[in-house]
Structure 1
């Protein structure tokens, strides 16, 4: 097309020059050039995109006019990246290694506190949990991830310290480990048993020592039952305990009533040590029981005797722990505990037995309903950095006495059933938060900038990697083209001028 326009234009110019019509030759040349520009496409020069070098100590508050980012080091915190729009990020010099800490910020009295340090494998190290007076409470050695545990004795607010040491004794990283130990609502237990045993006696004593509310009935004969009534109204139980003998000899109405409680959200645990009729379990719970070898044992560190009948992983039933199988039952769960003779540890190792039972109930999904659930922060709280405080079950306002602030709880679409507020703590230490309309309070520990340097670096690297994934490459836009309408106007005017001169 362009070549045809050029040839015709040259011919018109040549004809006008031959006739010595210089003005017509100029108009023909202008018309040919304008028509060629209309039919063609001329790209405007592209202005190079602005790239901003980010300083982690002084992050930008806006990216107006910035098309790309360049960064060296570990990067920014998640709260800082969330305030910036997505831009292509060139990230160089990210540090290697790093650690991450995992521990509960709130703990119920009687539960074991466990601190785990996640670290790269290959190098030996030693992890110590230290009390406020400098006494080493727990210690672990090895390569890769390390865990220490400690059992609090009273409900209080604690700030322990932990240090990660290299094989030569040098400190890799250290800092505070804050958590709160609180009293919880007592576990509400309803127990129905068809035959007495030493196991039931040991379990009764274990639950009673944990301050549980017990509605306990054991059949001693045809018309003889030993009962234990709770010290206060039990209401809806959290945990239903039955042995296999009671379930097998219960009337259909009794079984239906028990299963209906589980259907509405309670956890039902069946002690299978005295099971004798596998057909009943298959009909009622789709539980396929298989005979087990005599005197079989399983588990560590507590070795438990295996019940005469135990299920296999089939259908809705799945293994959930040491000799425990569970299945979902509408809004609740049902578990089969195929262990026996645990009473012998009640004297030889009562602490380990309590932990074993606690882990069994946790695997079953037994939970005490709390009116307000405070959520742990997504990253380490630091002074003068934005902190999101979130909780479930709160309403009205959140009050921060240490900051003299009162904020309204706001629902967040990315937090299921939770409400949040954002604050900027001024200093390290405990930050108290109250929700007067919900009659609840909590405290969040604000770390110092010098605490857990490698943990902070690891968090910044992960946050920077997530930001970089939002816009992995720069958008390849087409360069702008020169507008065509002015050349069309020039072409029309030149042709009109030629026509006028021809008519004249």
Structure 2
């Protein structure tokens, strides 16, 4: 039974019992002593009226309201002109500060304001935008967003959260409200690693190579045309240990290229087995093992030069083909064109190898050279052959974007061809990072796929006291704050397979995520560290909300009046007045016959007892 029906039943029962009692008491009196019928009728009607008024005190009649516009002042609303709306009410959220109009009502959140004004059909958001706390309450209403100006600084940053040691990574983004200028990427020692000039749209891209494993805190610094720092943002990077690849290198002879390739592979932690043929059946390197299926299945990558590729007999090529089908990776260093039979076998794999043009010198580019680097930032290199691959994927490109090497899939494995002859010149020129990036990319791309899976956890972090989202965690995971406080995560059932949980950080700094046996550190930046970044994120989220609201309301009919419960105090005053009047009538002599007092008994004049 609903509360409304229950109250009606109780009030009706009370009126009925009260009326029966009054009539029963009256019938017991002598006829000459009974009150006049008018008095009885008035008291009975007063009981009914009192019950009705008490009902309206509890459930006041609804009042119709025409739909209106609610002006919502947020942070930096004072920077926006024409804040109000004709006929609308103005409310201020806590972040609006003190510089608000005198007629603005303060509310702790948007939901409270909408409960006070439920007839609101349209919202005019003025200022920086709505926080995550208020976005859900704003859904389903038409939204007009009057934006505050974007402050100058770093508005967008896109960077990886995790990268393997020795790998090159890219950081891109956009600077807002700044003409000219540049962006620097600085390492933990505050040394510039890369620098990029801003384009006409404020876009930039920076590159760096991850060094030793562990948490590394880089910094992005935005500079104006005079070199003065305008803005900066922390850039935490989780540098992980690379997978230790089992690699076998077969070479037809020693060379500087092979020397520096082996040195890099050993420094990168690869389990390296090298065999160099010196001729006349002589080999240098580790003790030779059998070239059979069992040996190849234990390898992640096989590296051959053009001479060792041509020296494989028919049985060895068949074993290699079967190993490729099982997932082995193969890298062919074509430092020479080889004979016609070698090129024919490469054509069977999907590669077309030809001698180079008369000018074999190349200069690397693409992501290996920053936009601010000079044209001769890297030394020229030599390629022994020209490689093309029908349906192949580029393995490396020169400064003009022309692919230098390709790789193709072969069964479950991959085969790649590199034409570089003297990439060691990068090391001689002091660019060990570029040399390592070239071979690290090639080895990682071609090596046997690992059965290990990376952590599925993703982080969408916000400043303190705003909602951050962690996906890929189990229910009951914990976040440890910088001061040691623990927050238990609860996965939102509506997130489905993504298994996302939200939490609100109470302080900036390094936090630790503990999910079962997995632990991970992440940085919550202070809002004062990245004001432009926070302002842009807030504005974009409110823009998306406003765009979605226009789509939701575009097909709906015209707004209709809505209602809300009316005020209770007028009904309470009326009930109190009626109750007071009934009290007076019951104790007065109005409507009584002569010889009756207000207690329905005769007045006696007997003398007092002695």
Q: Normalising by structure 2, what TM-score?
A: 0.59
Task: State the SS of the aligned residue for 1:339.
Answer: coil
Greater Cα shift, 145-154 or 156-165: 145-154
Q: Which residue matches 1:198? A: 256
Q: Which residue, 173, 197, 200 being the options, matches 1:142?
A: 197
Q: Is the 8 A contact 1:272 1:310 kept in 2?
A: no
Alignment of 1:305 with 2:348, yes or no, is: no
After superposition, the Cα gap between the structure-2 partners of 1:122 and 1:282, relative to the gap in structure 1 and judged at 3 Å, is farther
Q: Which residue, 169, 179, 197 being the options, matches 1:123?
A: 179
1:293 deviation in Å?
A: 1.7
After superposition, the Cα gap between the structure-2 partners of 1:243 and 1:105, relative to the gap in structure 1 and judged at 3 Å, is same
1:429 deviation in Å?
A: 0.5
Task: State the SS of the aligned residue for 1:377.
Answer: strand
Task: State the SS of the aligned residue for 1:274.
Answer: coil
Q: Which residue matches 2:266? A: 208
- Per-residue displacement from partner, 1:232-279 (whole Å, max 9, x unpaired)? x99854433233333344345533443444445554322122342321
Measure, in 1, the Cα distance between the counterparts of 2:326 and 2:541: 41
Measure, in 2, the Cα distance between the counterparts of 1:329 and 1:395: 38
Measure, in 2, the Cα distance between the counterparts of 1:153 and 1:178: 14
Q: Which residue matches 1:500? A: none
After superposition, the Cα gap between the structure-2 partners of 1:396 and 1:224, relative to the gap in structure 1 and judged at 3 Å, is farther
Q: Is the 8 A contact 1:397 1:407 kept in 2?
A: yes
Measure, in 2, the Cα distance between the counterparts of 1:240 and 1:462: 49
Alignment of 1:244 with 2:287, yes or no, is: no
Q: Is the 8 A contact 1:126 1:139 kept in 2?
A: no
Q: Which residue matches 2:541? A: 463
Q: Which residue, 370, 381, 390 being the options, matches 2:462?
A: 381
Correspondence 1:94-133 to 2 at 5 A:
95-96=149-150, 99-112=155-168, 115-119=171-175, 123-129=179-185
Q: Which residue matches 2:51? A: none
Alignment of 1:286 with 2:350, yes or no, is: yes
Q: Is the 8 A contact 1:346 1:353 kept in 2?
A: yes
Structure 2 unpaired stretches of 5+: 1-63, 76-92, 94-108, 289-294, 365-377, 398-403, 561-610
- Per-residue displacement from partner, 1:378-402 (whole Å, max 9, x unpaired)? 4x421122211234xx667523233
Measure, in 1, the Cα distance between the counterparts of 2:281 and 2:194: 55
1:150 deviation in Å?
A: 5.3
1:159 deviation in Å?
A: 3.5
Measure, in 1, the Cα distance between the counterparts of 2:187 and 2:286: 41
After superposition, the Cα gap between the structure-2 partners of 1:154 and 1:310, relative to the gap in structure 1 and judged at 3 Å, is closer
1:147 deviation in Å?
A: 4.8
1:207 deviation in Å?
A: 0.5
Alignment of 1:434 with 2:514, yes or no, is: yes
1:212 deviation in Å?
A: 1.3
Correspondence 1:3-22 to 2 at 5 A:
none
Task: State the SS of the aligned residue for 1:355.
Answer: helix
Task: State the SS of the aligned residue for 1:110.
Answer: coil
Greater Cα shift, 138-147 or 75-84: 75-84
After superposition, the Cα gap between the structure-2 partners of 1:76 and 1:357, relative to the gap in structure 1 and judged at 3 Å, is farther
After superposition, the Cα gap between the structure-2 partners of 1:171 and 1:344, relative to the gap in structure 1 and judged at 3 Å, is closer
Q: Which residue matches 1:71? A: 125
Measure, in 2, the Cα distance between the counterparts of 1:328 and 1:80: 50
- Per-residue displacement from partner, 1:175-216 (whole Å, max 9, x unpaired)? 333233343432332334455433222211110122211133
1:433 deviation in Å?
A: 0.7
Q: Which residue, 183, 187, 204 being the options, matches 2:241?
A: 183
For the aligned residue pairs, the C-alpha RMSD in angstroms reads 4.0
Correspondence 1:396-475 to 2 at 5 A:
397-402=476-481, 403-407=485-489, 419-436=499-516, 439-473=517-551, 474-475=553-554
Q: Which residue matches 1:4? A: none
Q: Which residue matches 1:333? A: 414
Alignment of 1:357 with 2:439, yes or no, is: yes
Measure, in 2, the Cα distance between the counterparts of 1:165 and 1:281: 51
Task: State the SS of the aligned residue for 1:468.
Answer: helix
Q: Which residue matches 1:272? A: 334
Q: Is the 8 A contact 2:166 2:436 kept in 1?
A: no
Q: Is the 8 A contact 2:139 2:545 kept in 1?
A: no
Q: Which has the larger radius of gyration?
A: 2
Measure, in 1, the Cα distance between the counterparts of 2:344 and 2:186: 55
Measure, in 2, the Cα distance between the counterparts of 1:214 and 1:467: 55
After superposition, the Cα gap between the structure-2 partners of 1:51 and 1:132, relative to the gap in structure 1 and judged at 3 Å, is same
After superposition, the Cα gap between the structure-2 partners of 1:185 and 1:408, relative to the gap in structure 1 and judged at 3 Å, is farther
Q: Is the 8 A contact 1:195 1:218 kept in 2?
A: yes
Q: Is the 8 A contact 1:245 1:275 kept in 2?
A: no
Alignment of 1:60 with 2:110, yes or no, is: yes
Q: Is the 8 A contact 2:491 2:501 kept in 1?
A: yes
Measure, in 2, the Cα distance between the counterparts of 1:264 and 1:61: 60
Alignment of 1:162 with 2:220, yes or no, is: yes
Task: State the SS of the aligned residue for 2:335.
Answer: helix
Q: Is the 8 A contact 2:212 2:239 kept in 1?
A: yes
Measure, in 2, the Cα distance between the counterparts of 1:107 and 1:222: 45
Structure 1 unpaired stretches of 5+: 1-45, 482-504
After superposition, the Cα gap between the structure-2 partners of 1:338 and 1:153, relative to the gap in structure 1 and judged at 3 Å, is closer
Q: Is the 8 A contact 2:509 2:523 kept in 1?
A: yes
1:93 deviation in Å?
A: 2.9
1:87 deviation in Å?
A: 4.1
Q: Which residue matches 1:91? A: 145
Aligned residues: 423
- Per-residue displacement from partner, 1:323-376 (whole Å, max 9, x unpaired)? 121223454433221221223444343514223333444666887765442555
